[in-house]
Structure 1
Amino acid sequence: MEKLRKFFNDTVEEMQHKVSWPTYTELQKSSILVLVGSLVFALLVGAMDLVYDSTLSWFYNQF
């Protein structure tokens, strides 16, 4: 039990004193970058799905 308590105490101490937290501005910039990247990826996958679906529909309608 003592090892577990020491682990949690060490974890709290490290999170408070040794971790460098981003500033609010850095956090906003990173969030915007993730949002834009996610939207670009979603549009790319959506376009690929549309092309794939159209190609398969055309192919199956040939028979």
Structure 2
Amino acid sequence: MVNYITESYNELKNHVTWPTWAEAQKLTVIVAVFSILLALAVWGVDSVFSKVVGLYFEWIKS
């Protein structure tokens, strides 16, 4: 277990290319914008399907 942690630390320290602070901020904004857009799209599809299912049940109830 200690060997695994030591090797993982060395891998992160010596072989991973970390983004600059400005690049990390830019990528965070991009992820946030796409997350909001995806959430709005899912909400829209859910609302449409909810209305369609509601209308369907009203139609078969009559």
Alpha-carbon separation, structure 2, partners of 1:6 and 1:57: 59
Number of aligned residue pairs: give it: 60
Unmatched 5+ stretches in structure 1: none
Match of 1:39 among 25, 36, 39: 36
Is 1:50 equivalent to 2:25 in the alignment?
no
Equivalent position SS for 1:21: coil
After superposition, the C-alpha distances for 1:22-41 in whole angstroms (9 at most, x for unaligned) are 11011011111111111111
Q: Amino acid of the residue matched to residue 13 of structure 1? A: N
Unmatched 5+ stretches in structure 2: none
TM-score for the superposition, normalised by structure 1 = 0.81
Alpha-carbon separation, structure 2, partners of 1:55 and 1:44: 17
After superposition, the C-alpha distances for 1:28-57 in whole angstroms (9 at most, x for unaligned) are 111111111111110001000110011111
Q: Pairwise CA RMSD of aligned residues? A: 1.3
